[in-house]
Structure 1
Amino acid sequence: MVAADFTEISELRQGLIRKALRYAIFAADPAADLVTAPFDAGGILQELPAGYVPVGFTTTDGVTFSGDLSTSDVQSGQSSSPTRSDVESDTVTAQWVPQETNAAAVALYDNLPLSGAGALPALGSATWTWSRPKTPPTRYRRLVFIAEDLNKDTGNAIYIVRHFPSALRSGREDEQWTRTAEIARGVTYQAYIDDAAETDSITWIDGPGWRDYAPEPPAGG
């Protein structure tokens, strides 16, 4: 056997530690197109399909993606640990607290449509008014989360895009009115399998800074 160099085999790379230096959340009604190609062939971030609206500023807690995994174990008399384990459920949620009182934040919090009948009008164009229905509707959304980081060596942008093709409100925080803080409307949305996308969550990483990691082509190649 060949002696190992720990520094080489550990492959510790500070430049691969990612942060969301800037991030944004977008929401759309189910009629909007799925996000299938957030980058072009050169890794340049593209505009979202029509119908996606920005949620705006959030608290400094940002977006929290949580998971709930449950398994079913088989116990056997001859083993102190399970002899078989199968996944029963594996879900993912996103939680954030908007700070702006805009149409998207209000709609996501109070379960209103983002477009069409029942949607809030443009800011300042008319009085905003909405009522809670007797029977709360089951209103699915399409959600997109985009984070921007920088390549440590080149300074070029790296983007992480996460798409929930079908998400349902699963929780909301208290709405508090006080002179010392903004009126915030925190929500939690759970991702569900979308028939067309055949998944509940899609993630892409690309951008000029990501392409900078590509290995140099061999000399003369």
Structure 2
Amino acid sequence: MPAADFGTIAELRQSLIRKALRYAVFAADANADAVTAPFDEGGILQTLPAGYLPVGYTTTDGVTFSGDLSMSDVESGQSAAPTRSDVETDTQTAAWVPQETNAAAVALYENLPLTGTGALPALGTATWTWSRPKVAPTLYRRLVFIAEDLNKTTGQPLYIVRHFPSALRTAREDEQWTRTAEIARGVTYQAYIDDEVGTDAVTWIDGPGWRAFAPTTP
């Protein structure tokens, strides 16, 4: 076989190192339409279906996507390593800390509907009030996370869109009132398989900056 050039076979490309230069979180009730096509045929980012509300500013920690993977191993007397392993559970969560006191941030933290009966009214139109029920409701949400980056060469935007079509609040952080920091309402939502979409999470990467990586046709 011919000798290999390490720089060639390693295919190290700085242009493929991604950052979320800007990002946003959106939430909708379970009866909203799931996101199926966040980009058009030309890779242009499209508006979300009706019912999705922006969460607004978050802390600099951004959005943390975590996974919990557990395996079921078979051990045998003749082997020090498992002789068979199967995935037992594989779950994904998203955690973030909103800084704004807006309808989406409060509803996600307090487990309130985002629209319809029981939802908070528009800002400034009426008094906001809510009470904790005797039995906490199980409210599934549809969540969308959008990150924007730029193509290093062309300067064009590219986007990473992740959709949890069915997500449930599984944790929330303490709400602290102090004169030295904003009132923040951190939450964690776990993704569950949605019958309509057939998965617990869908991710797309597209945009003019992403299309620029496509090889040219001779």
TM-score (norm 2): 1.00
Matched, 1:43 2:43: yes
1:87 corresponds in structure 2 to 87
2:160 aligned residue:
160
Distance 1:34 1:178 in 2: 38
SS in 1 for 2:126: coil
Q: What residue number does 1:185 align with?
A: 185
Shift of 1:207: 0.2
* Letter in structure 2 aligned against 1:201: A
Letter in 2 for 1:194: D
Give me the whole-angstrom Cα distance separating, in 2, the residues matched to 1:65 and 1:2.
Answer: 43
Aligned position for 1:60: 60
2:22 alignment partner in structure 1: 22
Shift of 1:10: 0.1
Residue aligned with 1:60, SS: coil
Indicate the RMSD between aligned Cα atoms, in angstroms.
0.3
Percentage identity across paired residues of the two chains:
81
What residue in structure 2 maps to residue 135 of structure 1? 135
- Structure-2 separation of matches of 1:197 and 1:2: 48
TM-fit CA distance, 1:116: 0.2
Structure 2 CA distance, aligned partners of 1:188 and 1:164?
Answer: 13
Q: Please give the secondary structure, in 2, of the residue aligned with 1:9.
A: helix
Matches within 5 A, 1:142-221: 142-218=142-218
* In structure 2, distance between residues paired with 1:136 and 1:2: 67
Partner SS state of residue 108, structure 1: helix
- Name the aligned partner's letter for residue 153 of structure 1: T
- Give 1:80 deviation, angstroms: 0.3
Give deviations 1:127-180, integer Å, cap 9, x for gaps: 000000000000000000000000000000010000000000000000000000
Please state whether the residue corresponding to 2:9 is helix, strand or coil. Answer: helix
- 1:121 maps to which residue? 121
Q: Distance in 2 between matches of 1:2 and 1:132?
A: 71
Aligned to 1:97: 97
- Secondary structure in structure 1 of the residue aligned to 2:209: helix
Moved over 4 A (4+): none
- Could you give the per-residue CA deviations for residues 161-211 of structure 1, whole angstroms, max 9, x where no partner exists? 000000000000000000000000000000000001100000000000000
Q: Deviations over 1:94-139 (max 9, x none)?
A: 0000000000000000000000000000000000000000000000
Give the total of aligned pairs: 218
Q: CA deviation at 1:2?
A: 1.1
Offset from partner CA, 1:23-71 (integer Å, 9 cap, x none): 0000000110010000000000000000000000000000000000001
Gapped regions of structure 1 (runs ≥ 5): none
Distance 1:152 1:141 in 2: 35
**Which sections of structure 2, spanning at least 5 residues, go unmatched?**
none
> For 1:2 and 1:92, how far apart are their aligned partners in 2?
44
Secondary structure, aligned partner of 2:107: helix
- Distance between the aligned counterparts of 2:72 and 2:2, measured in 1? 43
CA distance in 2, matches of 1:15, 1:205: 15
Distance 2:179 2:19 in 1: 32
